[in-house]
Each structure stands twice: as structure tokens, then as C-alpha cells.
Amino acid sequence: MRTRALTGLGALAVGAALILTGCSTAADDAANAADVPLTFASAPLGDDPTAQNPISVLVTLMAEETGREVEVTDVPDYLAVVEAIRGGHVDFGIMSGFPSALAVNTGEVDALVAWPGSADPVSTCIVLDDSPLKSLDDITPETVIAFADPASSSGYFMPVYTLDQAGLKKDVDYTPMFAGGHDMSFIALKQGQVDVACTAVVIAGMYDSDMFPFAEGETRSIAMSESMPVSSTILVNSEMSQDKRDLLLAAIPEVFSEKNAEALGPLFAGTKGGAALLEPGSEIFKPFVRIAQIAGVDISDLG
């Protein structure tokens, strides 16, 4: 088994690991007993207490399908999800393509289930409707662009690649800023702290929600990204027992089905590219290598 840091993201990974040092270590054989809860790592999705929380819905649906209680460990960002799984502190997590590729590249995390990406753009870079920025041609080194998280597919990797393809180099042709999440990017845009916010296309259409606090017509897009080969994955520790693997493999396709689409909201949006791929291996993540390198992360030896 290979063990190494996530190149280019090591400091964040170490920070995430420190946050999780209080968690229990990987469970022993008794953890396969039917009365032991499944554990799930979740990064923040939004803070509106009046909105239906898709993580709570996911937990309920997984409990119904598996017959197990499902416990949630809240972590601050995507890399902390990876580190929780990698360290054996939780059983599974749901992640987009790029952090999944980074996680699988450690040799300690497996993609248990993956969904191919659709042909549609993944990311959009938006401005306020009255912004003087009309296109990427108007971007200058002083333009501040908010990204969600350094391990976010739609909120970092794909937008950085899109800007690079337009001839805009990070830290040279524009000023990047990590907001700490998609919702925080929008708050920064609304308050005038940044000029542009790059995010997931699906989130930029959730008008007047806790995730996207704008009414239709208050923002507009100045750039759209390409599609991604993998949209979402369920990640597990490589040493997970076969009993737990079988349990999750049976439950996940049922949970992420059309009947639960509305309740799962943005979690289900990442599964619309095609049928679930069970235990797909690392080969599906190879197309991410070139884009990751542009963002300063080397996963060239993936697989």
C-alpha cells in the first residue's frame, strides 16, 4: 500500500488530520456487528436552519437501507473528509471528482461507487449584474476571484483550468482568494469583497437559498467550464471490511435514485451523468491529472 502526502495540498491535509486526532481509531472486527453504526464524514453545505439539510436526508435514507444507525462527523472542508476516511475515523464520505482523485492517489482510500459526469459545464464564474466585468477579457491582476475550497472540483480546479485556458494565470493575471466554501464565496461577492465568485453551475441556480443568496437577475456568468469525467464518488478506507463494502454497495444505488432526487438536492445533482459505477478503480480519475497540474497539484502517478 502506498502512503504519501497529497502533493501541493499537504499542509491542509495535515491540518485536517490534527482536527481529527480526537476521533477513535479504525474499528476492530467487532465493528462489523449489525448494531454498530456506520460513520459518515460531512463538510458544510450551508447554514440556513430553516432549509432541509440534504446531509440529514442522506443519513436517514442510508439508515433505512442498511438497517444501521448512521452517525455524522462534521469536518471543516473537503480535505478533512479525505483525512477522516484515510485515517479510519469514519466509514465513508461523498466527494466530487478532484478530491476523490487526490484521495485515491494516496493508496489508502478507494472509490467504492462513482458516477460519471454529464456533458454539461460543471462550473461558472459569476459577477454582480452591475459589475464592469463583461467577460474574461476584462480581468486584470487586481481582479479578486473567490474560490470555494482548494480541494473543490467545481469551486476551484475546474474554474482555475477554465481561466488558464483563457490565458489567465493564477497569482499573475488575477488575485485568487479562498472563501472557505461556496456559500462564503457568494457572501464575499455580495458584500463587495471580491469581484468574481467561481462555483458549481447547479448551485448558481439555487436562487434565494441558503447556498445562493441572490435573486434571479442579480448575477450573471462571465465564464463556464468544461464537463468532468467523474462527478461524484463515495469514498471508503482501502482496508474496510468486505461486509461493510457489500452493505454500502447494496444501499448506495438505492439511496441515490430518482425517487430521492428532490430530497437529496445538490447531493443527487452529482449523480445525473449516468448509472453508478461500482468499485470502479483508479483508472477513471486519469483525465484529472492535467487539470490538477494546472492548479498546482501533481497526481501524475495515479493508479
Q: pLDDT for 86-110, tens place per residue?
A: 999 999 999 988 889 989 988 999 9
Each residue of 205-224: pLDDT tens digit? 889 887 899 999 999 999 99
Dist CA 270 CA 114 (whole Å): 10
The pLDDT of residue 48 is above 80: no
Which of helix, strand or coil describes residue 250?
A: helix
Mark 141-166 as b/e (b = at least 16 C-beta within 10 Å): eebbbbbbbbbbbbbbbbbbbbbeee
User: Rounded mean pLDDT of 54-64?
Assistant: 93
User: Rounded mean pLDDT of 124-146?
Assistant: 98
Domain boundaries, the chain: 10-118+228-294, 123-224
Mean pLDDT score of the chain, rounded to an integer? 85
- CATH architecture of the domain with range 123-224: 3-Layer(aba) Sandwich (3.40)
User: Does 10-118+228-294 match 123-224 in CATH topology?
Assistant: yes
Dist CA 95 CA 122 (whole Å): 14
Q: Closest by alpha carbon to 220, among 153, 120, 154, 132?
A: 132
Each residue of 65-84: pLDDT tens digit? 999 999 999 988 888 999 99
Strand partners, 42: 74
Are the CB atoms for 263 and 252 separated by under 8 Å?
no
Q: Work out the percent of the chain whose per-residue pLDDT is above 90.
A: 60
**Of 48 and 220, the one with more pLDDT:** 220
298: DSSP letter: -
Record the cell numbers describing residue 20, joined without a space. 481529527
Domain 10-118+228-294, CATH number (from 3.90.1150.10, 3.40.50.300, 3.40.190.10, 3.40.630.30): 3.40.190.10
Are the CB atoms for 126 and 174 separated by under 8 Å?
no
Say how far residue 156 (Cα) sits from the centre of its chain: 10
Dist CA 226 CA 294 (whole Å): 15
Instruction: Report the pLDDT value the prediction gives residue 255, as an integer from 0 to 100.
Output: 96
Instruction: Report the pLDDT value the prediction gives residue 3, as an integer from 0 to 100.
Output: 28
User: Rounded mean pLDDT of 155-184?
Assistant: 95
22: DSSP letter: T
Are the CB atoms for 47 and 187 separated by under 8 Å?
no
Instruction: Report the pLDDT value the prediction gives residue 246, as an integer from 0 to 100.
Output: 96
